[in-house]
Amino acid sequence: MNTKQLNETSKFLSYILRHEPQTIGLQLDAEGWANINSLIIAAVKEGRILDQALIKEVVNSSDKKRFTISDDEKRGQIYFRSHRPS
């Protein structure tokens, strides 16, 4: 993945998770977590190329550590959120 695509994806994810999840029809829970599969489906419907591998690459390559991925073993799902700036 090239740096430009990673940066653009990071900006998109930050915007959606921090400010406007409803613009792609995404629901966050009370703590700001989004089901990663719901995020991917909503983004793809809006014409974005997004999958778990790309999200994980954005998370792992971010020097600012803006995002967190969490396995919810009880529900068997993966959740994703942005860290809000303090």
Per-residue pLDDT tens, the chain, 86 aa: give them: 789 999 999 999 999 999 999 999 999 998 889 999 999 999 999 999 899 999 999 998 888 788 888 887 656 577 888 876 54
Give the type of residue at 69: I
Angle at 18 between CA 56 and CA 9, to 5 degrees: 40
Range of the domain at 63: 3-82
In DSSP terms, 82 is beta-bridged to 67
CATH of the domain at 58: 1.10.10.970
In DSSP terms, 81 is beta-bridged to 68
- Total count of domains within the chain: 1
Nearest-angstrom CA–CA distance, 37 and 48: 14
pLDDT number for residue 73:
60
- Whole-structure pTM value: 0.84
